Chains A and B, each alone.
Chain A
Amino acid sequence: MAEQTLDCLGEACPVPLIKTQKAMEKMAVGDVLIVDIDHSCAMKNVPDWARSVGHNVEIEEVGEGEWNIIIEKTK
């Protein structure tokens, strides 16, 4: 049950989404990825993609215009 962080602060679409997809590929089932983002479009397309694939997703607003997307790999 490893946990890792992906820093996507300052990155615009679609970079955060592609980075997240690449990072998820390397993870094992049950692992958790925390994506730091400050781009409001990524706050929509990253969780949308993760949910559509079937992972568990939680979004936390950590500051003004800054979010953590917490994704648990389910398969």
Chain B
Amino acid sequence: MDEKKKYPFHETYFKKEWSYSTGAVLLTLLALALVIFSGGAWGVTGPFGMWGGKFLQLIGIDADSWTAFNGSLAKYNFWTDMPALTDIGIVAGALLSVLLAAQFKIKKIKSAKNVWAAVLGGLCMGIGARLSLGCNIGAFFSALPAFSLHGWLFYISIFSGAAVGSQLLKKYFM
């Protein structure tokens, strides 16, 4: 409690969570800046698909001939792929933020159930995001400021999906 008084600036700006409205305003401004400076809409999982394809090539599978890639893997360059660089940026930024707040912690894996939930959940998210051509960033965060209708459709769908998911979680996981 004494530390609070010793470093009031650090406490207010780096440690205490910001309000939802502060977050919303900052996200809007940063979304705008992202479009202006990167020259396009950001989608998190698009690059994951490319990296997956590159990985398949690495182990000798000719993924580039698939309709999904259609020769785009050969032309792919990570350093000019703005969404990919933004992906790296968000992870680096999140790390910086927890380090500044002195809240970095490597969490213990609690149970085998949690491992299964993480693996299955990750697979479902990956497949879903690629089938719908975007996750909640590409299909939502980048869509709404651009006044694209697909963002609102995605909003309704993800909200209903989350509602059903929470009920399943309560029933079978807890």
Residues of chain A touching chain B, judged by Cβ–Cβ distance below 8 Å, are 9-11, 14-15, 18-19, 22, 38-40, 43-44, 63-66
Shortest 7 CB-CB contacts between residues of A and residues of B: A65-B105, A10-B110, A65-B103, A10-B107, A10-B108, A38-B105, A64-B102
Contact partner of A40 (CB less than 8 A), chosen from B17, B108, B109, B166, is B17
Q: With A and B bound together, what is the CA distance between A66 and B105 in angstroms?
A: 8
Q: With A and B bound together, what is the CA distance between A31 and B173 in angstroms?
A: 27
Whether the pair A9, B110 counts as a contact (CB closer than 8 A) is yes
Please indicate the chain B residues that have their CB under 8 angstroms from the CB of A38 in the complex.
105, 107
Q: With A and B bound together, what is the CA distance between A15 and B166 in angstroms?
A: 10
Contact partner of A11 (CB less than 8 A), chosen from B17, B105, B110, B170, is B110
B114 at the interface (CB under 8 A from A): yes
B98 at the interface (CB under 8 A from A): yes
Whether the pair A10, B109 counts as a contact (CB closer than 8 A) is yes
Residues of chain B touching chain A, judged by Cβ–Cβ distance below 8 Å, are 17, 98, 102-105, 107-110, 114, 166, 169-170, 173-174
Contact partner of A44 (CB less than 8 A), chosen from B17, B109, B169, is B17
Closest to B3 in A: A61
Please indicate the chain B residues that have their CB under 8 angstroms from the CB of A15 in the complex.
169, 173-174
What would be 15 A-B contacts, judged by CB atoms less than 8 Å apart? A9-B107, A10-B107, A10-B114, A14-B169, A15-B169, A15-B174, A18-B170, A18-B174, A38-B105, A38-B107, A39-B107, A40-B103, A44-B17, A63-B105, A64-B104
Contact partner of A65 (CB less than 8 A), chosen from B104, B109, B169, is B104
Closest to B118 in A: A12
Q: With A and B bound together, what is the CA distance between A59 and B56 in angstroms?
A: 48
